[in-house]
Structure 1
């Protein structure tokens, strides 16, 4: 009898622990109203849902013309060595951006995600900081990214609510590319690669978005569903199996889609963080411009991040979902987790500067790698400086449109530097072979009422 009672308590604890890992949310994608929520703000491992942000930044680069669908994505030795599932590209070989995208939305290819991250960020740690910074700009306050693919890292986490926000943002901000998420298979050479999202074609109206699995995360799924004038985004995290996760999502869709509004419209997720109260506060506190001199060299250093003090070897993410769960469990190492202290900051109770520091984005890359991936050598011209990287980037875009001929052979980028403990961003154009060439370009810009000066990198 005692043994039976003990077994009951043990089983109860296991179930309780497992249930604590699960989280879910359903959001009306037309009004932003939360229709269902279960521990939606609880911290969870994203697994391959991470790739949604990798694709967000890829779509952003495509939309801005920084890359094209046919641009080559070269696979480094690091990218090629990523754990399955993967496309299997050899080091030094390449695929097109479109192929990389398709391999991510269908096969959840870890190597393709890493290769895209390295292409856009110069290296994966820098790209991960870009991902986290973008998450903050989208209002995803409970998310930190450490890699481009979602392979286990104890410092990488998110929430169901944040994943719903990202799912909505992908459709709202990049409708021209969102159709990739409904791709159920694609041809890679002579091979037909099928997708993992089994709700596509099974549930009416489902048009994406992403599955995910590691041992630590359980089975995750973000789904976008449209039926007539109704649209919802649902998130299920920590499922016990691919099948149970899918069934839970199907139940949520069937229950809450009929309750979604047929009205509403307009973007629910801002493209920039301008409406963030912390950002607004920072605007008041920080000076609008720095006053650099031509001799003021940028603080450009190697942006590689020190390795984790608790490194882990990768589990396979999305390893063909439940069909190979057993294989993954046998071969994948246990992910060691460490407790992360969470500090809740109450703005009225602390100094204003502390509020900004508490909500500050991760240390930015020294160079905006979406543009350049590295600092252009030789001479550059600086046209602006701002406490916000987005403003510096916007000035680069504006200047390019104002003087396309002058800057035809130049490459725009932002350079971060610290002054009195505050990070600013210089907006520069590089690629000038000599001081004379840079000065000549500056003279031409000044004729268009664009202030600038030349600086050697």
Structure 2
């Protein structure tokens, strides 16, 4: 779809009303609703958003948000618009709509008001979901509304990078913004289901064109197609046209349990102090409580031994000896309360796990006199005897190693792989991991995993047998010399020599000027060839080394072809010179 941004006139369309997967073009609607909510006072750019688990769990592209993290709205806008971060868009959706379904309902309501009749949204970021569809016509319409309805925010779509608080984000559209004259937005999109999508706008003089492409096969092919469509738009659009802004949709306040207190005027007048967070329960809290209880009871007995009648002491020693540990805990709680220490040590807001045998023994040792039926002196003597009989280092049963597994474990020396991957393999993996050719592959659900290296070669039987032989001088660790076979010597790269042919008159060319490095010259040749593949597609790209720099040339062209190609490049405000034989 190609449209004159000023008047809304459709200049070209092909299958523009076909519902397809919009991918991250969806974020244009997420940002439109965000701008609308800010304009009507639901919240501000500095409002703090608490990231939900749903938002933090979104797949790449990501800003790197964590559940419960707090971040300002302005940073989420930058991450969603520039980096196309799925977690940032989902965080905005959950904050505005309460959850994914609530925000999707608002998205669809707004889309209907904008006249997007072929669109239905399911989520805020555009990841592939059943029923999540839109069309090139609808996305072009939405992009035009973004330009006219919120001009104060439109510049964010032309930024190559921005600060998103926890990271600096870089635009997924920076290659097209740099290559096409006048381009200033708007949004890329890519998933494996949608292909490479783009809604772009550009301005030249008084003219401004907006266009949308769905289903590109690669970033380069999509950008070349977009450049072709925008060129067509600038040719067909009148030099001067009446500006007819689209009708601004009627604002509908949030419905349901929306989190915006400003718009609903429901902000609390005071902030009550939160209750004290209960301390987490400990597995040995019963034993600790009983030990404290015994200590308190023992101190009281020592302090009041002269005032305690013998009949009271004998009556205290008549408690049932088979009382459960839970009862002992209650008794300890009462004793602690009576001593003024407090019962919070025993009380727990969560159910306690069943005590293990070791804790049961400790609890029995720490019972007060009224529970065990023994005097404090007898109890202390029994406790000292038990401590002397048991080892000082006690391991709980659940943490003891499996004796059968330990017996079956090999006792021979440990083999360690010490040989790194071959340099050629490392370079290949890094080249694939740092593939910057398709910037929009960083979006959506089709991020290619970074390759890893695993050693699967087993040591030879002779090596294992020799390692298991008992030898006094045998080291405890054997380092194998090399388990990874050496990579074959790479074949020499073929040397391509470009020669100016005199046959057929193809001894003309086009010079693009001098550049500071060979890489910059080659990159400019490739970018130019993609922009004008009709005239430069069959030309040879050649970088000539000069004293003052590196000259980028297209060679092997006819005179007419070279003159036509240079004229087309000059029409795009690019410097070029026709070179002859």
TM-score class, shorter-chain normalisation, is 0.5 to 0.7
C-alpha separation in 2, matches of 1:108 and 1:319: 14
Match of 1:257 among 227, 234, 253: 234
Check whether the contact 2:60–2:445 (CA below 8 A) recurs between aligned residues: no
Say yes or no: does 1:83 pair with 2:59.
Answer: yes
- The answer to which structure has the higher helix fraction is 2
Match of 2:84 among 108, 111, 114: 108
Q: Which residue of 2 aligns with 1:170?
A: 146
Say yes or no: does 1:136 pair with 2:255.
Answer: no
Instruction: State the 1:133 CA deviation.
Output: 0.7
Q: Trace 1:411-430 onto structure 2 (pairs within 5 A).
A: none
Match of 1:47 among 15, 18, 23: 23
Instruction: State the 1:223 CA deviation.
Output: 0.4
Q: Which residue of 1 aligns with 2:3?
A: 27
Q: Deviations over 1:383-409 (max 9, x none)?
A: xxxxxxxxxxxxxxxxxxxxxxxxxxx
- The answer to which structure has the higher strand fraction is 1
Q: Which residue of 2 aligns with 1:158?
A: 134
Tell me: CA distance 1:168–1:130, structure 2 relative to 1, closer, same or farther (3 Å). same
Check whether the contact 2:218–2:438 (CA below 8 A) recurs between aligned residues: no
Instruction: State the 1:319 CA deviation.
Output: 8.7
C-alpha separation in 1, matches of 2:70 and 2:132: 28
Instruction: State the 1:180 CA deviation.
Output: 1.2
Q: Which residue of 1 aligns with 2:249?
A: 271
C-alpha separation in 2, matches of 1:326 and 1:115: 18
Q: Trace 1:37-436 onto structure 2 (pairs within 5 A).
A: 37-189=13-165, 191-197=167-173, 198-261=175-238, 262-272=240-250, 320-322=439-441, 328=447
Q: Deviations over 1:14-46 (max 9, x none)?
A: xxxxxxxxxxx1001112111111100111101
Check whether the contact 1:139–1:273 (CA below 8 A) recurs between aligned residues: no
Check whether the contact 2:23–2:194 (CA below 8 A) recurs between aligned residues: yes
Tell me: CA distance 1:84–1:319, structure 2 relative to 1, closer, same or farther (3 Å). farther
Instruction: State the 1:206 CA deviation.
Output: 1.0
Any gaps of 5 or more consecutive residues in structure 2? 259-436, 451-581
Instruction: State the 1:271 CA deviation.
Output: 2.1
Q: Deviations over 1:212-259 (max 9, x none)?
A: 001110100000111111111100000011111011001111222232
Q: Deviations over 1:328-353 (max 9, x none)?
A: 3679xxxxxxxxxxxxxxxxxxxxxx
Counterpart of 1:209 in 2: which secondary structure? strand
C-alpha separation in 2, matches of 1:148 and 1:323: 17
C-alpha separation in 2, matches of 1:323 and 1:147: 19
Tell me: CA distance 1:329–1:88, structure 2 relative to 1, closer, same or farther (3 Å). closer
Check whether the contact 1:72–1:96 (CA below 8 A) recurs between aligned residues: yes
Counterpart of 1:238 in 2: which secondary structure? strand
Instruction: State the 1:56 CA deviation.
Output: 0.3
Q: Deviations over 1:356-411 (max 9, x none)?
A: xxxxxxxxxxxxxxxxxxxxxxxxxxxxxxxxxxxxxxxxxxxxxxxxxxxxxxxx
Deviates more, 1:153-162 or 1:223-232: 223-232
Flag the structure with larger Rg. 2
Check whether the contact 1:102–1:183 (CA below 8 A) recurs between aligned residues: no
Tell me: CA distance 1:216–1:40, structure 2 relative to 1, closer, same or farther (3 Å). same
Instruction: State the 1:113 CA deviation.
Output: 0.4
Q: What is the TM-score of this pair, normalised by structure 1?
A: 0.55
Check whether the contact 1:69–1:96 (CA below 8 A) recurs between aligned residues: yes
Instruction: State the 1:210 CA deviation.
Output: 0.3
C-alpha separation in 2, matches of 1:82 and 1:327: 13
Check whether the contact 1:168–1:269 (CA below 8 A) recurs between aligned residues: no
C-alpha separation in 1, matches of 2:147 and 2:215: 24
Q: Which runs of 4+ in 1 moved over 4 A?
A: 299-302, 322-327
Aligned residues: 268
Counterpart of 2:13 in 1: which secondary structure? strand
C-alpha separation in 1, matches of 2:147 and 2:130: 29
Tell me: CA distance 1:301–1:202, structure 2 relative to 1, closer, same or farther (3 Å). closer
